[in-house]
Structure formats: structure tokens, C-alpha cells
Structure 1
Amino acid sequence: MRRRDFIAASAAALAAPWAGASPPGSDLPKGPVKILVGWAPGGGTDVFARIVGQKLSEVWGRPVVVENKPGATGSLAAEYFARTRFTEGINLLMAHVNTHAISPQIFKSITYDPLKDYAPIALIGATPHILVTSSRNSHGSVQEVVELCRKSPGKVSFGSSGTGSVQHLAAEMFNMAAGVKSIHVPYKGSGPMQTDLIGGQIDFSFDTMTAATAQVRAGKMLGIAQTRVNRAKGFPAMPTMDEQGFKGFDASSWYGVVGPRDMSRELAQRINADINRVLAMPDVVSRFDGYGVEDGGGSVDKFAAFMAAEYKKWGDVVRAAKITEES
């Protein structure tokens, strides 16, 4: 077959499945498709939304627009989404452990109910955190950090990206499990916190794997343990907290997609099926592995149960550690 004939035949074959049939996504609600992200462009939540959004646009044959509404560690966008009546298109929100499990249990200004004011759709994935210290220190194991805290009670400090962040609560979980007391130093993000950690102004942190990886691999921070029960593919040689004596220790940042409260179950299940399809694509799996994102996908009901369990788990930590807006 001549090359020109081959190309023509191939094009016809590719077009054939849609000949006389509706294009993909034509059965979905008409109008724009938007994913709202409560953080600025470039952060993990934004990156994951754009990866999924781009693939959904290919599956549905229509643009998917990611909009950013940063503020209050994602809660500004979550509050807006819960209070807005959407009248056209498909409107989605990137849910996060902060917005849907932690912040509503700490900050009095938050009025939305994370379990009732949204329609669960799909879990995108979860990423571990890493217990890190400055590479200048000699703390090479979790037990050595515990001993440091015991020798200087109330003087050892840990940094976080802000009050009520997973970094903050993971360290409080560590304090309670180890029976030690360390001092919380909140920052406005991982960047400034890492600068002080590397410089020795604070002693340790449970930073996100996404944020900590570059500094750990550059040798500026020492990665001691990861915070999911199983080791992440990106750090197969780094032991978990569970492996180092803290049985069942699990502190993850997770990301999901939710819709408006009045979204029909049928539409939620349809979008869920397409997101599961996206998450199984080899190039998406590869990119997510690079960020340490794992365990995404599953049914609508599985995600709803997951969010409820996370809300209870982190609520228990907030109450046990007596965490408030001023902590």
C-alpha cells in the first residue's frame, strides 16, 4: 500500500467509531467544564487538577478549564463552591485533606460542612509526608528524634506550612505517640519553613513528599521516615514511621474531586468512571508516581467513606492535641 493510501485508510479507521454516532461527552450537561482549585498555580493541588483536567478534555472532546481561587489554605474556594448555585455546565472542586478533613474542625470562620455540602466524585490520590531534619544534624532515625525531644522537653521545635496543616497535625500525632513535647513554629508555606530547617532554626518537620523531595535528594535535608503505612514508589529505600515503631502511623495529604451538593448521582458516577479511566492511563500513572501520588480511583461510595473516615481521624487528633486557631 502506498504511504498516501495508508494514511487515508488510517484516518478513516480512526474516524469510524464516531461515524453516525454521538461524539464522546455529548451526553454530559451542556456548557463550560470548570475545575476550581483553592491554591495558586504551580502547587501540587493545581498540578494534579491540570493533569486530570487535560485528560478529561481529551476523553470528553471539550475544554476543561482550571480556575484558581487561592486563600485560607483552600477554604476560600471551598466556601465559595458550597455557597454558589451553578446553573450551567459541569462545575467541580478539587477537595483536599485541609479543606475537607482538618480546617473546618479548627477555624470558626468556616461555615461549610465538608461531608454534606458537596457531592463526592473520586479520590485522585494521596501523597505521604516525610519526617525531615537538616542534613547538618545527626538524627538518622525516628528514635533519635524522640530522644532529642526527651532530652530537651519543650525546647525542640518543628515547622509546618501553617496552623492546621497536615505538617502541623502529623507532628502533633508524633508528639502524642512518642509521649514528648515539641514546639510548633508555623510558616506561610513549605518554602520558608525549609529555609529555616536547613539553616538549623527549627529541628524537624513532617513536610509533604512533593515539597521535600528536591531538598532531600540534593542532600540539604535528611529524610528519616515517610508517613504512610506502605513505602511510596518514589522512595522505596526510606522506611515508614510504622516500620520504625509507630504502628499504624498514617498522615497523608490527599486530593479528590467533588461536585455541587445537588449534582445527580448518575452524573457523579459518570464523571467518576471517566476519572478512573484517566488515572489508569500510563502517562498519568508515570507522572503521579513522580509526585508520590498513589491509591487514587475507586467508586463514588468509596470516596465518600474515605472522606468521612479522614474527617473523624483528623478531628480526633485536633481534639486530643487541643489544636485551635491560635496553636
Structure 2
Amino acid sequence: MTIQITRRAALGCALALAAGPAFAQDGWPSGPLHIYVGFPAGSSPDTLARIVTEPLAERLGQPVVIENRPGAGGVIGVQQMLANADGDDLTFGTTINGPLTTAPRMMGDTGYDVEADIAPVTLIATSPLVLAVSTSSGIEDLEGFVEAAGAEPDAIAYGSVGQGSGAHLTAELFAEDAGVEMLHIPFTSYAEVTTSIMGGEIDAGFMAPSAALPHVEGGGMRMLGITSSEPFAQAPDVPVIAGKAGLPDDFRAELWNGFIAPAGTDPAVIERLTTEIDEILQDEGVQDQLLAIGWQAAPGTADEMAQRISADTEMWGTVIDRIEAE
């Protein structure tokens, strides 16, 4: 549980040269895979995991068992993956970004060290947020929103699904980059946020496109911009925020979900899983299933996922430090 990512990467290269990819395919997997998910059955992260692991089981020729261990924003799922790993290379996890990027900074002690205890396998999918306002607000576009927010401190009140949530941190990142101050009003669900926006109790909110779309289609809400660096297939007509209204060209704030393993997992096994999941995510049917629940397939390498963890930890850490200092 203390092997560093960089050491694992070097070991992986050496094994690949010595034995080739067949090493992980010879006798592996020797039994069912157990995938720990830190959210309840039926939740978006759970559904996403099942979309990917069902074809994974067929490709590997072994059952893949989802172990739901909800709690602490997904942290308990990571803890349980590590607690139940016994070195058999059959215990893994899927997780959203929070337990790997923001929870260690916000909780202080998650019971694990991300770099030392966890081996990234691959990103699975990403989900941006949209900035939404009521159609009765009179705000037509992102430029108008930034102008209204800059009129005076806290001129705009926004809602999120809780202190430290992705929506809260995204709004604070947006406010910092736009040079404005906004008033945060925490709620417990997107339903409450949208009801309060349309009722005029708050002015705006960053939320999943799937949460905003029914109200946009019903005429009650307007989406001003999206936080991904590229247009999102579920809301293709919503402009990206990056580079607009004074925001930097590299502005990006996405939720993501990834496949992880305990540190010390055979690098050849990780390579095999990365390859299998990448091929699964190329399937249009799988892509459609992910998009239907608000996620866009985002396959990649273990190194790319490690880089994403590092970059997001730094970015959100700066935002968290600023919030705590206020």
C-alpha cells in the first residue's frame, strides 16, 4: 500500500518488455472481479459502473460483482476497496473525482493516500455542469450574467447541492476567474436548486445538464454556458464558458468517473483492464447509455488519469483554500 505511482509505471515498462501483454492474460482473471462503488444502487455512479462492467465480464470470461459501499461522497467505497484487497488482483473500484481530488483536502484524513495507495487504471467518462438561470431573470447570455454579478458584491445568489460539492466549487472557480463575488446558498438536491431558481429565491446555479434540461424544455430555465472545454452532446447548443465574458481560455470544470485499483496490482493486469475498458467505451451503444445518464465516454491511459488527478487536486485545492480563508 505504499508503492508510488512513478515506481509502478517504471515497473510496468520493465514487465512489458520482459513478458509482453500476454502476462496478464495467462490465467488472469482466476475468479470473479469485485468492483467497489461508493454510492448506492441506482445512483448515477452505480449505473455508470454497471454499463461498463457488464461487457467487461463478457470480455474477461468471469463474473464482475458490484459492491456498493455508499457514504462520505464516495470515500467509503475507496476505503472498502483497499480494505478488501488481498493481493489477488481481483479487487478494484470505480469512483467519481471527489474521493481522489477534493476529499483529502476537505476531510483531512480519508484513511488512504491517493498517490501511495491507489493505482489509476483509466478514466471512464466525464460530465460538465451548466450555468442555469430563470428565463424571467432577464439575463440572456454569459456576458449579461457576469455584468450583473459584477454590479456589486453578492448581487447574484447561486445555489448548489452542498458546501464543498462540485457545483459549489465550480461556482467559486467561475467567480474567481470572472472577477466577481457571488452569494452561495446550499441546498440538499438539484430539485431544490431548480425550484428556487424558477421561484426567484436565488438567481442561478451550476448543475448537471440532465437536471436543467427538463426545465429548459419547459421554458422555465435558460442555460448560459457549459463548463467543459468542448460542446457537450447532451446539450450541443449551449456555448462553452471558456474564453467568454472575460473567462480564461483554459477554464474547465468537469466531474469525472474512473476505474481504480489498489497500489501493488500487477501492472500487466492494469494494462489489460485499460485496454478492455477503452474498447468497451468505443462502442456506440455504450456511449449512448452513458450519455442518457449525463456522462460522455472519456477513455484514456493510466498515466493520463494520474495526470488528471494531479491537475484537479491542485486546481480544486486552490479553490478550497480560498473558501476556507474567507
Q: Give the TM-score band, short-chain normalised.
A: 0.7 to 0.9
Contact 2:216 2:222 in 1 (8 A): yes
Aligned mate of 2:257, from 246, 255, 258: 255
Deviations along 1:228-280, one digit per CA (max 9) or x if unpaired, are 12111222211111142322210000110001112111111111111011101
* Residues 104 and 111 in structure 1, CA contact (< 8 A), matched pair in contact too: no
Distance 1:48 1:87 in 2: 26
The whole-number CA distance in structure 1 between the counterparts of 2:215 and 2:69 is 28
**How many Å separate the matches in 2 of 1:187 and 1:299?**
36
Q: Is 1:266 paired with 2:271?
A: no
Aligned length: 301
Using a 3 Å threshold, how does the CA distance of structure 1 residues 262 and 215 change in structure 2: closer, same or farther? farther
8 Å Cα contact 2:36-2:67 kept in structure 1: yes
Post-superposition shift, 1:200? 2.1
1:176 is aligned to: 176
Cα distance between partner residues in 2 of 1:172 and 1:194: 19
- Correspondence for 1:17: none
The corresponding residue for 2:281 is 279
The structure-2 alpha-carbon separation of the partners of 1:233 and 1:243, relative to structure 1 and needing over 3 Å to count, comes to farther
Kept in 2, the 8 Å contact 1:234–1:291? The answer is no
Q: Structure 1 residues 213 and 93 mapped into 2: Cα distance closer, same or farther (>3 Å)?
A: farther
1:189 to partner: Cα distance: 3.1
Q: Deviations over 1:182-202 (max 9, x none)?
A: 111222232332232232222
Cα distance in 2 for partners of 1:249, 1:203 equals 22
Paired residue for 2:19?
A: none
Which AA in structure 1 matches 2:118? Y
Q: Which residue in 1 is equivalent to 2:317?
A: 315
Match of 1:301 in 2: 303
Could you tell me how far 1:37 is from its partner in structure 2?
1.3
Q: How does 1:117-132 map to 2 (within 5 A)?
A: 117-132=117-132
**Equivalent residue letter for 2:236:** P
In terms of mean alpha carbon deviation, does 211-220 or 179-188 score higher?
211-220
After the TM superposition, which residues 12-161 of structure 1 pair with which residues of structure 2 at under 5 Å, given as runs? 27-86=27-86, 88=88, 90-161=90-161
Alpha-carbon distance, 1:145 to partner: 1.8
1:318 is paired with a residue whose SS is: helix
**Counterpart in 2 of 1:22?**
none
Distance 1:147 1:139, change over 3 A: same
Paired position in structure 2 for 1:164: 164
* Distance change in 2, residues 1:237/1:164 (3 Å): same
Q: Post-superposition shift, 1:73? A: 1.3
| Uncovered stretches (5+) of structure 1, i.e. residues with no partner | 1-24
What root-mean-square deviation, in Å, do the aligned CA atoms of Structure 1 and Structure 2 show? Answer: 2.3
- TM-score, normalization by structure 1: 0.84
Looking at structure 2, the residues matched to 204 and 135 of structure 1 have their Cα atoms a distance apart, in angstroms, of 11
Which amino acid counterpart does residue 181 of structure 1 have in structure 2?
A: E
Q: Which runs of 5+ in 2 are unaligned?
A: 1-24
C-alpha distance in 2 between matches for 1:285 and 1:295? 6
